[in-house]
Amino acid sequence: MTEAVVFDLDGVLIQSEEIWDAVRERYVRERGGRYDGEVQRAMMGMSSPEWSRYLRDEAGVPGTPEAINAEIVGLVLGAYRDDLPLFPGATEAVRRTAARWPLALASSSNREIIDEVLELAGIADCFRTTVSSEEVGQGKPAPDVYLEAARRLEVDPRTCTAVEDSEAGIRAAEAAGMRVVAIPNSSYPPGAAALAATDVTIPSLDELTPEVLEGS
């Protein structure tokens, strides 16, 4: 039985992966670093300390990880304030789910991005707790961010249902012992093996009903 629902943010509630990718690519290239498919894939699910170190150490971006992180996050926040890329049905899906279960959010985004997005979307009040992977030991696909969300909700992770879009996120929720509902990211789709590990796959947030979340 589902006792709580844990949403991912990027790729589930907001169509943000493309924005992150464009901002980081432009930032890296302007500073003489390397940005290609390998770099992009490697950063999927990483926490901000992890991807900022990766850009310095592996992609050749000059500067400290802290400075790299702050500058990129500032650019992403600016883009969101201009035009928040909410998926159709995102606020409705969150509100109907919050009417039945306590909600958490487990995201690879930075704390300031999580807070800003939920306020801009008008759904901050729906979540009992939110967790950024920068607040735990490892980013996705490690289960840390999902385990911390369950701990803050004071529920067993095995009684939670996670809503995810990416391979790293699916693996993280699965490793935490959660039931997983996948809404595959069309731009960066998870592999067949990851999708096979989910409990149910749906095409959009419109299909995220209480029955799907409960498993009935």
138-160 tens-digit pLDDT: 999 999 999 999 999 999 999 99
CATH class of 4-14+85-214: alpha beta
Residue with tokens 């949403």: 7
Domain at 17-82: CATH code: 1.10.150
As a whole number, mean pLDDT of residues 53-78 equals 96
Q: Is residue 216 pLDDT above 70, yes or no?
A: no
Q: Is the overall model pTM greater than 0.85, yes or no? A: yes
Cα 117 from chain centroid (whole Å): 12
75 neighbors 27 (Cβ within 8 angstroms): yes
pLDDT value for 187: 80
pLDDT value for 165: 95
Band the pLDDT of 46: cuts 50, 70, 90.
confident
State the average pLDDT for the chain: 95
Band the pLDDT of 87: cuts 50, 70, 90.
very high
Band the pLDDT of 30: cuts 50, 70, 90.
very high
Band the pLDDT of 133: cuts 50, 70, 90.
very high
Domain boundaries defined on the chain: 4-14+85-214, 17-82
Please give the Cα distance from 208 to 97 (Å, whole number).
Answer: 9
65 neighbors 59 (Cβ within 8 angstroms): no
The reply to whether 4-14+85-214 and 17-82 are identical in fold is: no
Which residue stretches of the chain are H helix? 17-30, 37-43, 48-57, 65-82, 90-98, 111-121, 144-153, 167-175, 192-196, 210-214
As a whole number, mean pLDDT of residues 52-60 equals 96
Band the pLDDT of 188: cuts 50, 70, 90.
confident
In the chain, pLDDT over 90 holds for what percent of residues?
88
Q: Which helix (H) or strand (E) holds 4?
A: strand 4-7
Please give the Cα distance from 186 to 200 (Å, whole number).
Answer: 17
As a whole number, mean pLDDT of residues 64-85 equals 95
Band the pLDDT of 88: cuts 50, 70, 90.
very high
In the chain, pLDDT over 70 holds for what percent of residues?
100
Q: Is residue 77 pLDDT above 80, yes or no?
A: yes
